[in-house]
Chain A
Amino acid sequence: MDTTLQHDSNGALDAGEEAMLRRVGYGGMEARSASAVLVNHELRVATSNVDGVEIMPIQDALMRYDWVQDLMFNLIAPDENELLRQSAELLNDPIGQFIYVHDGAKVGLPVQSFTLMELPQGRQFTHNITVIGKGAEVEMISGAAVPENVHAGHHVSIDEMYLREGARCRSISIERWGKNMSVDSYSRSEIGPGAETTSSQIMIAPLRRHLSDTKSYIHEAASANDQATVFAPEGTERVFENETYLVGPGARSESVTRMVSAGGTIVNRALLVGQAKQTSGFLGCDGLKLSDVGEILAVPSLKAESADAQLSHEASVGTIAEEKLSYLMASGLSEDQARDLIVQGFLNLKEQYLPEEMRAQATEMIAAAKSGGM
């Protein structure tokens, strides 16, 4: 079986595109097991360097594997809302990628998938499906970027992810959209029995509006550990609607969101549902408000349907204590330097699994977003 598909093997991305993507975690082919890059309305790169990982346009996957059609719109219904309905209609010839890690594959280097939107006022609708086979282990790096000259546009994405029994996946995503863009991302995942997933999401760069709608279904003895780092400068609105369902006995989940508003609006509604016996889960929502402009709304909620579900949550919203600022400034740091240290500490990037270059990029993005430089 041919596990390698590359539409343009002789340098599919130009130097400018590659530089843009490197700022959100893109690595050279030699540092990745497989790569997918969607540029505007085309999956420009779809390459796998290893056995056991397939990566291809979703249209090809639908033709190659008849079971892929059963996974599409399986975890999300096209009639959930009008936007999805429109997207589903447009997706007669769907754009997106299919990533398939075969059963038992232990993938050494990360698999990466990125989206580039290069058209000002462009419209992009993507539908991606990822399948991590039984007992497979993989690390995924994903992200999105636009060129400096793209300020406005609308990106809609649907992601359906399937972790099969005993699979392990560690994922990182980092995005850098245009400052006046709208983004609607719908993500659904099914974590099979005994599977484990750890994810870090970095959402720092300014954009006009982002709706992130996520639902996860965690099966018997499976676990999910999610961390999200969210920053909203003035003019940015980010809305998160997250639902986690512990559907199998012994399913576990921990989700921590750290939010900083520097004048923007952040709404985080998170629901954790313990449906099966001996499930456990935690929701953490911590907010830091840097000015009187904008708002943070944190609404963690728990629903126990099983008598022995162990669910808990913590939520806090506050500002930087003057005492902390003064303490740092008493060593000679300016107020901005002191604030930056405290904000970086609050967002706690170092506690998240991030490649060093991505950590540096995220740190730089926070500083730039705070200063209005992005």
Chain B
Amino acid sequence: MASPMLELRNVSVGAGETTLLHDINLTVHPGEMHVLLGQNGAGKSSLLSAIMGMPPFEVSAGTVVYNGRDLAGLGVDERARLGLGMAFQRPPSLAGVTAAEFAQALGAQRALADQADALDMGQFAGRDLVVGFSGGEIKRWEVLKLFLQAPDLILFDEPDSGVDLEHIAAVGAAVGRLVSQPARDGSRRAALLITHSGLILEHVRADRAHIMSSGRIVHSGEPQALFRHIQKAGYVAPAA
């Protein structure tokens, strides 16, 4: 098996003085999509933010290793340039900053032109980012943004929350298309996706799922089986 793309080794995450996540261990290989399932407040978004290096979340213990490199001490932009990318659940509004200007800053005007129509965002080049976007538009923009950045390890924070079923199908298809594209070194991309509803699992091919509860990963297993378990028993580890 190829070397891991992402390894979390005994990771704890804090924000300020508060420790939110404890002793997280997780390994993602190239070509894999992992899913984190958990109720609101379980700590899923905090984990993704900490991997990405988004303040105020910090790894307070353990190590996060990406393609063999310890990410400790690297800023969010440095991590992004190494190949990490993240679709935000609630991106901030950026009045006056258009999608076209953002793409230009990334040197990704061609990608915007190529991908916008496929996400039904062909008319969005001149729109201010996220200003007045509907829930579905936000989710599609966040995926389009990742097409512009072209990261190798993609973190999806609740891509199926707050949108209707039709949008979930469209976003799921786009997520699948994005992840299936090759990484910059020609290897395969990988993804870590958060969902609490699990609805997007109908539209993406997930390889492994993990249940998070109270800041810990309490169980890992086959995604569909785990989701069926959660529907019956809630976000608790199945009996041994």
Contacts and interface: CB of A to CB of B under 8 A. Distances in A.
Given A330-B86, A341-B105, A324 B52 contact: no
Interface string B59-88: 000000000000000011100110001101
A326 B54 contact: yes
A331 B80 contact: yes
Interface string A322-353: 11101111111111011011101111101100
Contact of B145 (A326, A331, A334, A341): A331
Contacts of B91: 327
Given A331-B149, A332-B149, A342 B97 contact: yes
A1 interface: no
B51 to A, nearest CB: 11
B106 A345 contact: no
B157 to A, nearest CB: 11
A15 interface: no
B23 interface: no
Nearest to A335: B77
A332 to B, nearest CB: 4
Interface in B33-69: 52, 54-55
Given A330-B86, A332-B149, A335-B77, A347 B55 contact: no
B95 interface: yes
Contacts of A323: 92
Given A330-B76, A331-B148, A332-B81, A341 B54 contact: no
Interface in B76-132: 76-77, 80-81, 85-86, 88, 91-92, 94-98, 101-102, 105-106, 128
Given A331-B85, A331-B149, A326 B106 contact: no
The main secondary structure of chain A at its interface with chain B is helix
B94 A337 contact: no
Contact of A329 (B76, B88, B94): B76
A337 B105 contact: yes
Interface residues on B, range: 20 to 34
A331 B143 CA distance: 12
A321 B92 contact: yes
Interface centre among B95, B97, B128 (most CB of A within 10 A): B97
B97 A334 contact: no
B86 A333 contact: no
Given A326-B76, A331-B149, A333-B77, A344 B101 contact: yes
Nearest to A345: B96
B55 A329 contact: no
B94 A330 contact: no
A333 B77 CA distance: 6
Contacts of B95: 345-346, 348
Contacts of B148: 331
Nearest to A258: B96
Contacts of B94: 324, 327-328, 341-342, 345
Contacts of A326: 54-55, 76
User: Which of B55, B80, B94, B96 has the largest number of chain A CB atoms within 10 A?
Assistant: B96
Interface in B2-43: none
Nearest to B54: A326
A336 to B, nearest CB: 10
Contacts of B88: 327, 330
Contact of B128 (A329, A335, A338, A345): A345
Nearest to B150: A332
Contacts of B81: 332
A285 to B, nearest CB: 16
A352 B83 CA distance: 37
Given A345-B97, A345-B101, A332 B92 contact: no
Contact of A330 (B80, B96, B105): B80
A321 to B, nearest CB: 7
A337 B55 CA distance: 18
Contacts of A350: 96, 98
Given A326-B55, A344-B96, A345-B128, A331 B101 contact: no
B124 to A, nearest CB: 15
Contacts of B80: 329-333
Contacts of B106: 331-333
A316 to B, nearest CB: 12
B218 to A, nearest CB: 28
Contacts of A327: 88, 91-92, 94
Contacts of B77: 329-330, 332-335, 338
Given A328-B102, A328-B105, 13 more contacts: A327-B94, A330-B76, A331-B145, A333-B80, A333-B105, A341-B101, A342-B96, A344-B96, A345-B128, A346-B95, A346-B96, A347-B96, A350-B96
A-B residue pairs, 6 tightest by C-beta: A345-B96, A345-B97, A332-B80, A329-B77, A348-B96, A331-B149
6 contacts: A327-B91, A329-B75, A330-B76, A331-B102, A335-B77, A348-B96
